Structure 1
């Protein structure tokens, strides 16, 4: 995947815009707090600004620096809200009934009012303690004691709001803050939450088809040498097996032992037990064990529809009226266009062409490779119309994407969002102005590829749409032919998902392959083969899309066989690398220590690649380990967590997803981003410091770097399951 820095940009503003909720069950909780110790990291600013951050929004403009052993904030514009300019510290915890002492020194080059707050870092952002104070050029020492009356908060924020506190702007000025202290002085009456015990027997919590390989991991030292498979209905032992191995799993920081119960094939519900480790979660063996979860993984795309009512009969708890239907302003102009429709990308309500292109490509590839997996009964409004529901869903997205193409040039706008991320609201409540961001060659390349796929998949289903797709794809390619690569960055004033990219070679590569497959025209073949001879591109990510081009070219009629053979060898080499890692990991997955943002996407992208490799060379290990990647997502991992909401005994319950947060319940069929060793949100930093990479995950809506959901994280698991007949 592309660098974490790129992805961090996507979500960074969320921290300050009210998109999180604090009332969640924490997977890891501090057992005790330090008393009479400064909880604020680097409150004296002796050497640097470590532990401190700044934020601007709604017209606010400011910057921080270290000056004379203090933090100096140059405020050039206060903006329109109190937090238009904000300085904050997030690295501490607060406990109910704890008595605290807070103090700091502050001064300003101009007389003004500021807010200081210790607050929830999300949801309603309510203040636990704070006030509005007057400051001037004379240093003011604030010193207060208070009692925390709210529930324990493992990731609060200490914020100085230096924006528009009074409703009036102020001329440019600077503010100095120093000697910041927050001390727990009395923890009498504090109740420290207990750490959740680990599940010691780990497997796929959804279950297995009868003929599948079935492996179990025992994650603790014990004297057990045998395990039992027990019928949940009869309580009788149906199989006894040996516990083998004893290997240290560095990525998970644990010792793993293993068992195999593949010989258990009779449909039913079961648990696995040992004398020393107790019982596993219940799981099912059955031919249709994945039927419901597969449907919900696909239905998630319907639940993300924008610009259309989601009625009660289809949306249930998460139903809502049509949203984001206003015309959107093209950035840098006064022109407005209709870009309604499409899917909300993730936990936010932005719509991004490069992100959605991966999602559409996965769904169409899954359909092409296993049409039998997709019926006309997925409970969406179009169900029963005689067209597979996955095509109905993709059609909705293609129609939106067509609106994102500039009609004269053929270039494609990068995204449409508001300037800032919204608060914790349902989609119809995001009312800020919609802004269409400038054309990018990465968006245009992805668009050309996806539209070519749309032409092929709809030419016999909806010829009119198919023809529109082909015309749009060719127009986009013409734009690429005359437009050089340009680095993609957010325009000034836009802080929503950047989906930045510095090289569009892989997007052009994919577009050329897909257009050649769709049309057979030599100009696309020539363009692709020239790029492939220079370098075979790889990747099933939104930022690295080369493997979509590879598979398109391999399935194209009259492909250059020398180029095709090189691509085959490249894919098989990649598959062998994955299998080599799988063999040496306790959970038979390839991540090792490399758990980063969206690691579950990488897990399922690798499953897709292995399934594709099997078609090129039927090595049974490719299928075995591809399925292990799905098993991982369904609970066979070092957290014993089913990362898909609504399924398994310990499933995703608190995703970083606004409709789920607002309604207090997760939409079923969403997959979390997964473990992220880089700890890129405050609650992850507070609660996961020192954890092994594979365990850097929190089922908490505040942990956006581990627990967000996204259409292009759902799409690869749908793609992989369809390829592997796990539907």
Structure 2
């Protein structure tokens, strides 16, 4: 089933945030042709930042796994001649690669970029006719090949760049390499080719959930020395004594309503906990495990490591323990818990508040409990699984009896409770539709957990009410339908329809068709520039996973190498094959990258912190592995800045970038709060993180 581009009016915007930054880790000063009235290219990136940083760079340890892929790149010549200039070649931001590296059998393509539009348009680069792949241990060129211009040299409007490609897929020997343009004495950052290249990346990215734990001490040896803290939000009046929010008494809440709601995860750069979203994180983490159990070991250095249970399951249990506390005795589930904020988190002193139960929170929780009960039961964690299944049925029953209990936090009588609004659409028609889809999703997982025909009837009777377009906006719902289609008790006809329609849509001109047509210079089509929005890195992660779903759920007979390479293109983008030439994960210099996120919007790693602000400026910088929201061409400063009495923090104009840039360049390396609102660009969000983990883990094998 093919479909048009997803309209902006359908866009869900949560409390996610994005960021653009440049780092200066490793390498000498790059050079290029400079257009008139411009400044020279720096060694790390042409993308602007709010301050400079010079983080140290250490060798990349590797522990991840290979996925087979095809190689069709033409090879002009293979050479063992030394590249005489490699020792002095400067790292150029115009030669961008996956800075962690590549799996041996994967397609491997470096992007060569000449800016035509955007913040770096006054700088230029034209590659030599041939480039070399150089073994950085020997200085020998292992491949010399012609570069290929993209789209006859036309500008790529999404990035504002003219692009060439250098394909080195034929090289599969493990080692450390760089792409070198000897004609201009420039090179890419050093990267690895290895079967286990993404394993340490997965560990860092997964461990962000440990750092996001509320009410849990971050101590050695589980926390790195730079990011230790005592347990947060356990003072009197905080999480163990959370009160019902009262608009008439915002400071103290409603007396006599105290509940122990300790635990769970900070949602994003803010510390609140949103039930609908929290349940979605659990479902995504469970799918990440189910889709590739081999990626998930018992050695991620969290407190539960070494207990014989995959660490992802231990972290999932941590999330479930909080969600269970949010469930009332009648089966209903509280909608939100609002926490106070400070840096470090343990210094927060304000009260914690909760919102009342809602239908959507109860349905989301029913879905998470049911899938958790199924997965943990299959792992032999029987008592815990049985409790989850019972709780899932109870939440379902309450939601059925109370089908339209709506709680819009931070709005109306709940103004001041939390930040982002997690509730279903306020439009009555859309509200009914979204609640029905949540109910059907819960039924899918309840049927998987119980084989109860009541849930099967809900599923088979509402396939027509599903999300109609197969794209990254609907990935969470789509994975649930694909999961159902692979259940042994699924309706045979419906299961076949689900898979066939998914495969048909993925073969359309906005999915695999766009890949085969080479429609995007950076090999990451999102179906149009309008799909670059707040949280675009989540979209990239989900889009990559949507291709791999064809393999994970046996949907269609598309060539597996084609699918894997399509998915890997999105991972490569997040790892540095983008116009910024940067890894969109925070502070990854310990793994040897040249440029990664130096600062992002997070209460702990706040702007101005002497310890945890920017890498190279503060003592430590932020903790590693957090995915930021990414480029957002819809960014704008706060409306106060254009009022008659603007705040002094506004400055004279909205920061450009990110404002006023081509979509892929709408990014700035900053973490300032109101009124510049960097959360639109650089905030982390657990929703971004689980989307990235699902994609990354497809290419890791822990065995």
TM-score range, shorter chain: 0.7 to 0.9
Report what 1:579 is aligned to: 512
The CA deviation at 1:605 is 1.0
Superposed CA deviations along residues 100-146 of structure 1, whole A, max 9, x for unmatched, are xxxxxxxxxxxxxxxxxxxx9xxxxxxxxxxxxxxxxxxxxxxxxxx
Report what 2:264 is aligned to: 342
For the residue of structure 2 that corresponds to 1:336, the secondary structure is strand
Q: Does residue 271 of structure 1 match 2:178?
A: yes
Superposed CA deviations along residues 479-500 of structure 1, whole A, max 9, x for unmatched, are 2222224555222333522223
The CA deviation at 1:573 is 3.2
Report what 1:60 is aligned to: none
Q: Is 1:604–1:716's contact at 8 Å kept on the other side of the alignment?
A: yes
Out of 676, 679, 692, which is 2:632 matched to? 676
Report what 1:436 is aligned to: 354
| Pairs within 5 Å for 1:348-359 | 348-359=270-281
Q: Does residue 685 of structure 1 match 2:654?
A: yes
**Mean alpha-carbon deviation: is it higher for 276-285 or for 380-389?**
276-285
The CA deviation at 1:390 is 0.8
For the residue of structure 1 that corresponds to 2:133, the secondary structure is strand
- Structure 1 Cα separation of the partners of residues 200 and 305 of structure 2: 16
| Pairs within 5 Å for 1:316-395 | 316=224, 317-325=226-234, 326=238, 327-332=241-246, 333-334=254-255, 335-395=257-317
- Structure 1 Cα separation of the partners of residues 281 and 469 of structure 2: 17
Cα–Cα, structure 1 residues 542 and 495, in superposed 2: closer, same or farther, change >3 Å? farther
Q: Does residue 611 of structure 1 match 2:548?
A: yes
The CA deviation at 1:568 is 1.1
Larger relative contact order (Cα-Cα within 8 Å, sequence gap ≥ 6): 2
Q: Is 1:204–1:283's contact at 8 Å kept on the other side of the alignment?
A: yes
- Structure 2 Cα separation of the partners of residues 352 and 312 of structure 1: 29
The CA deviation at 1:549 is 2.1
Out of 317, 338, 355, which is 1:417 matched to? 338
- Structure 1 Cα separation of the partners of residues 260 and 449 of structure 2: 29
Q: Is 1:509–1:537's contact at 8 Å kept on the other side of the alignment?
A: no
Q: Does residue 629 of structure 1 match 2:570?
A: yes
- Structure 1 Cα separation of the partners of residues 16 and 622 of structure 2: 20
TM norm structure 2: 0.73
- Structure 2 Cα separation of the partners of residues 319 and 497 of structure 1: 28
The CA deviation at 1:222 is 2.0
Aligned-residue Cα RMSD (Å) equals 3.0
Report what 1:651 is aligned to: 596
Tell me the number of residue pairs that the alignment of Structure 1 and Structure 2 aligns.
551
Q: Does residue 282 of structure 1 match 2:217?
A: no
Out of 424, 442, 451, which is 1:501 matched to? 424
Q: Is 2:482–2:499's contact at 8 Å kept on the other side of the alignment?
A: no
Superposed CA deviations along residues 595-629 of structure 1, whole A, max 9, x for unmatched, are 11111111111122211113322423222111111
Cα–Cα, structure 1 residues 542 and 486, in superposed 2: closer, same or farther, change >3 Å? farther
Superposed CA deviations along residues 493-520 of structure 1, whole A, max 9, x for unmatched, are 3352222322323221211111111111
- Structure 2 Cα separation of the partners of residues 531 and 372 of structure 1: 34
Out of 217, 227, 230, which is 2:131 matched to? 227
Cα–Cα, structure 1 residues 250 and 489, in superposed 2: closer, same or farther, change >3 Å? same
Report what 2:534 is aligned to: 597
The CA deviation at 1:7 is 7.0
Q: Does residue 205 of structure 1 match 2:150?
A: no
- Structure 1 Cα separation of the partners of residues 308 and 584 of structure 2: 33
Cα–Cα, structure 1 residues 544 and 633, in superposed 2: closer, same or farther, change >3 Å? closer
TM norm structure 1: 0.71
For the residue of structure 1 that corresponds to 2:583, the secondary structure is coil
**Mean alpha-carbon deviation: is it higher for 536-545 or for 226-235?**
536-545
Superposed CA deviations along residues 416-448 of structure 1, whole A, max 9, x for unmatched, are 014xx635x211222221111122222222111
Report what 1:472 is aligned to: 391
Q: Is 2:95–2:113's contact at 8 Å kept on the other side of the alignment?
A: yes
The CA deviation at 1:635 is 0.6
The runs of 5 or more residues in structure 1 that have no matched partner are 15-19, 26-30, 33-119, 121-150, 153-196
Q: Is 1:440–1:488's contact at 8 Å kept on the other side of the alignment?
A: yes
Superposed CA deviations along residues 372-414 of structure 1, whole A, max 9, x for unmatched, are 1111111011111111111111101101101111221x12112
The CA deviation at 1:690 is 2.2
Report what 2:250 is aligned to: none
The CA deviation at 1:539 is 7.4
- Structure 2 Cα separation of the partners of residues 525 and 567 of structure 1: 15
- Structure 2 Cα separation of the partners of residues 222 and 361 of structure 1: 46
- Structure 1 Cα separation of the partners of residues 604 and 7 of structure 2: 28
The CA deviation at 1:298 is 1.1
The runs of 5 or more residues in structure 2 that have no matched partner are 1-5, 25-35, 38-49, 53-90, 115-124, 247-253, 426-433, 613-620, 639-649, 673-677
- Structure 1 Cα separation of the partners of residues 603 and 180 of structure 2: 39
Kindly name which structure, 1 or 2, has the bigger radius of gyration based on alpha carbons: 1
Out of 685, 697, 703, which is 1:722 matched to? 697
Report what 1:241 is aligned to: 145
- Structure 2 Cα separation of the partners of residues 261 and 601 of structure 1: 28
Report what 2:688 is aligned to: 713
Out of 508, 511, 523, which is 2:442 matched to? 511
Q: Is 1:358–1:541's contact at 8 Å kept on the other side of the alignment?
A: no
For the residue of structure 2 that corresponds to 1:322, the secondary structure is coil
- Structure 1 Cα separation of the partners of residues 269 and 470 of structure 2: 24
Higher normalized strand content (fraction of residues): 1
For the residue of structure 2 that corresponds to 1:619, the secondary structure is coil
For the residue of structure 2 that corresponds to 1:686, the secondary structure is coil
Superposed CA deviations along residues 566-603 of structure 1, whole A, max 9, x for unmatched, are 21133223322322334310111122412111111111
For the residue of structure 1 that corresponds to 2:166, the secondary structure is strand
For the residue of structure 1 that corresponds to 2:457, the secondary structure is helix
- Structure 2 Cα separation of the partners of residues 24 and 725 of structure 1: 27
For the residue of structure 1 that corresponds to 2:693, the secondary structure is helix
Cα–Cα, structure 1 residues 318 and 537, in superposed 2: closer, same or farther, change >3 Å? farther
The CA deviation at 1:4 is 9.0
Q: Is 2:576–2:582's contact at 8 Å kept on the other side of the alignment?
A: yes
For the residue of structure 2 that corresponds to 1:314, the secondary structure is coil
Superposed CA deviations along residues 16-67 of structure 1, whole A, max 9, x for unmatched, are xxxx9x9999xxxxx99xxxxxxxxxxxxxxxxxxxxxxxxxxxxxxxxxxx
The CA deviation at 1:356 is 1.8
Q: Is 1:201–1:277's contact at 8 Å kept on the other side of the alignment?
A: no
Out of 704, 707, 726, which is 2:679 matched to? 704
Q: Is 1:679–1:685's contact at 8 Å kept on the other side of the alignment?
A: no
For the residue of structure 2 that corresponds to 1:249, the secondary structure is coil
Q: Does residue 448 of structure 1 match 2:448?
A: no
Report what 2:201 is aligned to: 293
Cα–Cα, structure 1 residues 608 and 543, in superposed 2: closer, same or farther, change >3 Å? closer
